[in-house]
Structure 1
Amino acid sequence: MWKSGFKWMFLVIGTTIGAGYASGRELWQFFGDESGLAIMLFAILFSLCCYVILKISHENDSTHYLPVLRIIVGEKLSYLYDGMIMIYLFTTTVIMLAGSGATLQAFHLPNWWGVLLIVIPLVLIFVWDIKGVLSLNSIILPLLIVGLLSLLLMFTIQQQLSFLPELDKQRNWTAAFPFTALNILPLVAVLGAIGNQTKSKGEIWIASIGSGLVLGVISYLYNNSLIQISDEVLLYEIPLFAILRHYPYVMFLFITILLWLAIFTTAVSGTLGLITRIRSMIKAPLWLLAACTLTAMIPLTKIGFATLIEYLYPLYGLLNLYVLSALILYPIINRYKVGQK
């Protein structure tokens, strides 16, 4: 149970910690000053949503997200959100490809090198189907979490920052809702594809609470660090580099590799959600579907990493608020229906 629980937890975290999150750009877009309470609310809401999605996926033995989506938003709205999820997964995976290009630009290498560097292994990982994705996450994610937490703790201690928020200054608490909503659709897409592989409610609880706790702690430390260097953040397309400039080049190199791995795991998760849905309509190997889909994405990476996040993420956060509401209310409505029977 514990082993499976951590496996799903890493899949959830890998889906969430991508180019936008690990780079700091996504956190800075939604949080900033007076956001300690918002981040705490996000962690709670995120855990609840993970539990509901995994529970529905498990009970319906799902292999792609559409059956799960129908239960969450209803038959009629599921068609609208099905289209939205496919567009969302497509555009956010484009953001991951652009993020890989932006990461290599930090080493003064051409942007397209970074795009190719992520596209080729993305196709190869799907030769091993979903098992390849799960094996990859179980190796990369522990390293990524430890590396990111270590950097943020070092920066917090060196800059003598407070670990506790000022409770009387929390005016940005409402940011928790669009930020959680932003991360809901990829969870529905990815966790809907593994419903037939979950075995017990225990592993669902471990995955849900564990992922919410880990993401809550990282989000708080990260946001707290970015607040201290807010003037420098504006100068960087990837805010994480504003923190790394305070450290030796070896640290910069190590964390940049971790950032790229975070981008890669989210690109894998996004591609997985997209191509498992496509495979329910077109019977073909996952690697072939991945190759065709990623080829179509490459031209769109020219738009730029920061620009894509600035406009698309807040829009998706607002559009997904209905799904977030449906997930929060699901346990109450479901219990009421059971009671009526």
Structure 2
Amino acid sequence: MWLAGFKWMFLIIGTIIGAGYASGRELWEFFGSESGLAIVLFAILFFICCNVLMTISYEQKSGHYLPVLRELMGRRLTGLYDGMIILYLFSVTVIMIAGGGATLEVLHIPYWYGVLIISGLLVMLFIWGISGMTSMNAVIIPVLIVFLVGTLITFQWTTGFEITFNLEAQHNWPTAFTFTALNILPLVAVLAAVGSKIRHPGEIWIASGGSALIMGIISFLYNESLLVVAHEVMLYEIPLFAILKHYPYFMVLVMSGLLWAAIYTTAASGMLGLCTRLREYMGLPYWLISLILALAMVPLTTIGFSTLISILYPLYGVLNLYILAAILLYPILNKFDEAPLR
């Protein structure tokens, strides 16, 4: 039970710690000063969401997200969200493939070679199906966490651990809801895909509790570190490099490699959601579906996605808040439904 719980925990963390999070960009955009309470609330909301989604997936024995969506949203809205999730997963995976190609240019690997490398690794991963995905996360995510936390603690050590938590100055707490909502769709897609693999309810508590605790600690430590270099963050596309500027160049290379790993895990999570959903219609093995998807995605990496993102992301923000509300209310409404009439 414990081993399986940790396996799902790393799957959850791998879904959330993408390039945006690992680079510090998402945290800086959402949190910043007066955000200690917001990060604590985020950890609590994150725990509830993971727990509810995994519980529904376990009860439904789901192999993809459609049964979970139907349980949460009802039949009328399921069709709308199904289409939106497919579009979301596809567009995010394309962006991650493009980002993976661009990141490898730091090592003087041509962009197209980088795109083909990350695409090929995604297809290879799904030769082993879902077990390949969970095994990959169980290896990469602990390394990513250790290096990221180690870097942040070392930075705090050199600056005298200037961490403060003034409960009276916590006006940014509503951000917890929008930041949690940002990550809801990939969580729905990935956690629903493993419902049939969960064997014991204890795995759900280990995975949801462990991932919420780790994400909360990393988010708080990362945000406090960025506040120390707040006057320099705007000069960097990747805020993490503002923290690393006094480190040896070797550390910059190591963290660049870990950012690429974060891009890869995010792309793999998106591909997993798509493969499990499309397998119902295509009836093909996961690796073949991922190959077809990769062949469709690679040409699209040449398109500028800034316009697409500027249209889609605000829409996803509204839809995500709605599904976040549905998840948070689900245990309460479900309790009322199960209560006997008197």
Q: Which residue of 1 aligns with 2:71?
A: 71
CA deviation map 1:292-314 (0-9, x unaligned): 21222224434569888777555
Pairing of 1:143-182 with structure 2 (within 5 A): 143-182=143-182
Q: Which residue of 2 aligns with 1:227?
A: 227
Q: Which residue of 2 aligns with 1:46?
A: 46
Q: Report whether the alignment pairs 1:274 with 2:278.
A: no
Q: Report the 3-state secondary structure (helix = DSSP H, G, I; strand = E; otherwise coil) of the residue aligned with 2:160.
A: coil
The 10-residue stretch of structure 1 (41-50 or 290-299) with the greater mean CA deviation from structure 2: 290-299
Q: Report the 3-state secondary structure (helix = DSSP H, G, I; strand = E; otherwise coil) of the residue aligned with 2:33.
A: coil
Structure 2 distance, partners of 1:16, 1:174, is 20
Q: Which residue of 2 aligns with 1:86?
A: 86
Taking a change above 3 Å as real, the CA distance of residues 94 and 33 of structure 1, as seen in their structure-2 partners, is: farther
Structure 1 distance, partners of 2:102, 2:309, is 13
Pairing of 1:1-341 with structure 2 (within 5 A): 1-107=1-107, 109-302=109-302, 313=313, 315-340=315-340
Native 8 Å contact 1:26 1:309 kept in 2: no
Unpaired stretches in structure 2, ≥5 consecutive residues: none
Structure 1 distance, partners of 2:309, 2:164, is 29
Structure 1 distance, partners of 2:308, 2:96, is 10
1:206 Cα offset (Å): 0.5
The 10-residue stretch of structure 1 (97-106 or 194-203) with the greater mean CA deviation from structure 2: 97-106
Misfit runs of 4+, over 6 Å = 304-311
Q: Report the 3-state secondary structure (helix = DSSP H, G, I; strand = E; otherwise coil) of the residue aligned with 1:320.
A: helix
Q: Which amino acid aligns with 2:72?
A: I
Native 8 Å contact 1:93 1:270 kept in 2: yes
Taking a change above 3 Å as real, the CA distance of residues 170 and 253 of structure 1, as seen in their structure-2 partners, is: same
Taking a change above 3 Å as real, the CA distance of residues 44 and 54 of structure 1, as seen in their structure-2 partners, is: same
Structure 2 distance, partners of 1:180, 1:338, is 28
Q: Report the 3-state secondary structure (helix = DSSP H, G, I; strand = E; otherwise coil) of the residue aligned with 1:281.
A: helix
Structure 2 distance, partners of 1:209, 1:235, is 36
- Aligned residues: percent identity? 59
Taking a change above 3 Å as real, the CA distance of residues 54 and 92 of structure 1, as seen in their structure-2 partners, is: same
Q: TM-score, normalised by structure 1?
A: 0.94
1:20 Cα offset (Å): 1.3
Structure 1 distance, partners of 2:163, 2:257, is 27
CA deviation map 1:177-209 (0-9, x unaligned): 111011111111011111111011111000001
Q: Which amino acid aligns with 1:181?
A: A
Structure 1 distance, partners of 2:294, 2:187, is 20
1:64 Cα offset (Å): 0.7
1:331 Cα offset (Å): 0.6
What is the aligned residue count? 341
Unpaired stretches in structure 1, ≥5 consecutive residues: none
Structure 1 distance, partners of 2:220, 2:309, is 20
CA deviation map 1:271-302 (0-9, x unaligned): 00111101111111211211221222224434
Native 8 Å contact 1:95 1:309 kept in 2: no
Taking a change above 3 Å as real, the CA distance of residues 169 and 248 of structure 1, as seen in their structure-2 partners, is: same
Native 8 Å contact 1:95 1:308 kept in 2: no
Native 8 Å contact 1:34 1:172 kept in 2: yes
Q: Which amino acid aligns with 2:29?
A: Q
CA deviation map 1:103-160 (0-9, x unaligned): 2244454433332231110011111111111111111111111111111111122123
Taking a change above 3 Å as real, the CA distance of residues 32 and 106 of structure 1, as seen in their structure-2 partners, is: farther
Structure 2 distance, partners of 1:117, 1:179, is 31
Taking a change above 3 Å as real, the CA distance of residues 19 and 308 of structure 1, as seen in their structure-2 partners, is: farther
Structure 1 distance, partners of 2:298, 2:33, is 36
Structure 2 distance, partners of 1:87, 1:164, is 41
